[in-house]
């Protein structure tokens, strides 16, 4: 089963990187991809203009993985929704999210539930929203 999921994920990454218009939503919930999988997705998304929603809930993604995703989404303006719930982003990851929110004007919805972000990280995200006029839905709590 895990091998099938891995091969399916590899095929999906290939479709994403080739800018396949049939891939509009990436639902990778519970793939347990970790930072390396998040970095692979960020790399595949570099040239994609069709994916509008990404669900990465429960994937053991930390600060390094979210840093790659945030860096990509600073350039990629097609993604409107990002779900990073139940990943161990911590405050370092929250700082990457804050940097993303300062520079991305297309993201409309962001979910950061159960990401181990303390008040320090939440404050960084809140400050970034002063410059972000596009995000209209943010959900976060411990």
Task: Output the pLDDT for position 1.
Answer: 41
Residue 88 has pLDDT above 60, yes or no: yes
Please give the mean pLDDT across all residues of the chain.
Answer: 94
pLDDT tier, 60 (very low <50, low <70, confident <90, very high otherwise): very high
Task: Output the pLDDT for position 8.
Answer: 86
Alpha carbon distance 90, 122 (integer Å): 10
pLDDT tier, 9 (very low <50, low <70, confident <90, very high otherwise): confident
């Amino acid at each position: 089963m895990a091998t099938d999921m891995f091969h399916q994920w590899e095929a999906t990454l290939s479709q994403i990187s080739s800018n396949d218009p049939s891939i509009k939503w990436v639902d990778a919930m519970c793939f347990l991809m970790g930072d390396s999988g998040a970095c692979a997705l960020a790399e595949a998304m570099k040239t994609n203009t069709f994916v509008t929603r990404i669900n990465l809930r429960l994937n053991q993604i930390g600060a390094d993985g979210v840093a790659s995703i945030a860096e990509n989404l600073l350039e990629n303006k097609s993604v409107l929704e990002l779900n990073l719930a139940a990943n161990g982003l911590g405050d370092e990851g929250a700082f990457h999210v804050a940097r993303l929110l300062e520079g991305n004007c297309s993201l409309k919805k962001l979910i950061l539930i159960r990401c181990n972000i303390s008040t320090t990280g939440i404050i960084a995200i809140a400050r970034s929203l002063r410059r972000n006029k596009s995000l209209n839905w943010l959900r976060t709590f411990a």
